[in-house]
Amino acid sequence: MNDLISYMNNTLGACQCGAVHFPLTIEKIALGEHAVDQELPAYIKASSFQHIAIICDETTGRIAGNRLESLLAGTANVSRIKLEANPAGDVTADERTLVKALIDVPIDADVLIAAGAGTIHDIVRFCAFQRGIPFISVPTAPSVDGFTSAGAPLIVNGTKQTIQTKAPLALFADIEVLRNAPQKMIAAGFGDMLGKITSLADWEISRLRDEPYCPTAAGITRKALDQCLSRMDDISAKTCEGITSLMESLILSGLVMLMLDHSRPASGGEHHLSHYLEMKALENHKRQVLHGAKVGCAAIMLADVYRSLTERDIGDERVGNTMRSAYEQLPAGEKMAEWMRHVGGPVSFKELDVDAPLLEEAMAHAHNLRDRYTGLKIMNQYGLLPDIRQYVKHGRG
């Protein structure tokens, strides 16, 4: 997988599209059956780190924290920080958790290890950024594409906002650990990748507003998506090859965001809907649904909604043409639902306990979360919001 770093530097790094692309600062990506056991201690030693602080929660402490602690005990001082869940039972990247984690990181820690999935990585990358020290990623589930990016979606004052912090110095992922992750987390990773179908189309739309666009970055994200779709059977069966493919796709998508310093190719209307629903769940003290599950369901619905927009005459030729070119080729929602079901993920908002009024509210307001031009924004701008109930009625709303 170190090839992947040079691949990215040689392709996106050499891209002449005119937009700024940052060279990767990630030193090492190790993905394999014993990547953590075999490669992490040597890496820590070679980097001369003196005091490692492992950050995990109750569950990932059991899955990875204990093992990391004993594995690294001989190489440096090792501390362990356990993140606590909120009253609803979730660890969230909110002010309370972030400040507590910052306080708990020992003053002389010179590297952090994020042992967990997406949220733990967001908390750790924020802490590493604030403390001015590097962090190492040790994912415990292939559930999101954010492991290798620098953006940390945080909950501040109840609002989800993504701030640019820092990417990991290195990533070590044990395929056996990832394979043993709950099916719903694997499906969530697949759902986050399924979201690229609509996010890539929305990135095309953003060109109407002259937002930065890079064909090479779009191509690499598309390649990651295609890799994931072509290995669907293996992902569903949790084979070593399937989970490696899924994780590679997620890592690739994250690296693209990192080099662009924004998340446009990987996050469009489907992500804004997901973020909105997450904020509402927090507000109502409800348990969170996995990010990729919401993104997957939103992409399944938006693919149909967006495609139907291409048949509308909105009285603006330029917008109409761009929508047709971006959305006409989107796969049918039913097809995407079939894929998602195949890997064991939810396909309808009903399954996520999101009812029609809440979804309607999200469709009307989620686009305000980010100043990005998307189909979601166009629908609101031109009064084209669909009757959401038809999607609920068909079991996929």
* Min CB(266)–Zn ion separation in Å: 6
Q: Which is nearer to Zn ion, 214 or 282 (CB)?
A: 214
Alpha-carbon distance 51 to 78, whole Å? 6
* Min CB(191)–Zn ion separation in Å: 9
Per CB under 5 A, contacts with Zn ion among 335-394 are: none
Does residue number 221 form part of the binding site for Zn ion (CB under 5 A)? no
Closest to 101 measured CA to CA, from 135, 142, 77, 71: 135
Write down the H helix ranges in 231-332. Answer: 232-236, 240-260, 269-283, 291-309, 317-327
* Min CB(17)–Zn ion separation in Å: 3
Q: How do beta strands 151-156 and 135-139 pair?
A: unpaired
Per CB under 5 A, contacts with Zn ion among 138-197 are: 192
Q: Which is nearer to Zn ion, 44 or 144 (CB)?
A: 144
Alpha-carbon distance 39 to 209, whole Å? 46
* Min CB(99)–Zn ion separation in Å: 25
* The Cα angle at residue 32 between residues 257 and 114, in degrees rounded to 5: 55
- Looking at 10-18, 45-53, 62-70, 356-364, which segment touches Zn ion (CB under 5 A)? 10-18
Per CB under 5 A, contacts with Zn ion among 201-220 are: 214, 216
Alpha-carbon distance 112 to 121, whole Å? 10
* Min CB(38)–Zn ion separation in Å: 30
Q: Using the rule CB under 5 A, which residue among 1, 4, 17, 85 binds Zn ion?
A: 17
Does residue number 199 form part of the binding site for Zn ion (CB under 5 A)? no
Contact 67, 56 (CB under 8 A): no
* Min CB(152)–Zn ion separation in Å: 13
Does residue number 278 form part of the binding site for Zn ion (CB under 5 A)? no
Closest to 301 measured CA to CA, from 367, 383, 397: 397
Which residues would be at the binding site for Zn ion (CB under 5 A)? 15, 17, 192, 214, 216
